[in-house]
Structure 1
Amino acid sequence: MPKDTKALNSTPLSLIARPLVTVDIAIFTVKNEKLQVLLVKRPNNEQEHFTEKWALPGGFLDIDIDKDLNSCALRKLKEKTNVNSPYLEQVGAWGSKDRAPTEWSITHVYFALLNSDKVILQKGGNAAEVAWFPLIDNQVKKQLAFDHNELLDLAIQRLHAKVEYTSLPAYLLPDEFTLPDLQKVYEIVLNRPLDKSSFRTRILSTNLIAPIPNKMRPATHRPAQLYRLTNPDTLTYFPRSFKYNEKALKS
Structure 2
Amino acid sequence: MSKFSRSVLQASAVLLALAFTACNRYYQPASMQYDKLRITQDAPRSAAIGELLRPYSDSVNASMNTVIGETAVVLEKKQPEGVLGNLLADAVKSEAGKLYGVKVDIAFINYGGIRLHQLPAGPLTLGKVYELMPFDNIMIIQRLKGSVLQELLDNVASRGGWPGSGVSYIIKDKKATEVKVGGLPLDYSATYIVANSDYVASGGDNCDMLRSIPQENKGVLVRDALISYLGAFAKRGEKINASLENRVQYAQ
TM-score by length of 1: 0.23
Which structure features the higher share of helix residues?
Answer: 2
Higher relative contact order (CA 8 A, sep 6+): 2
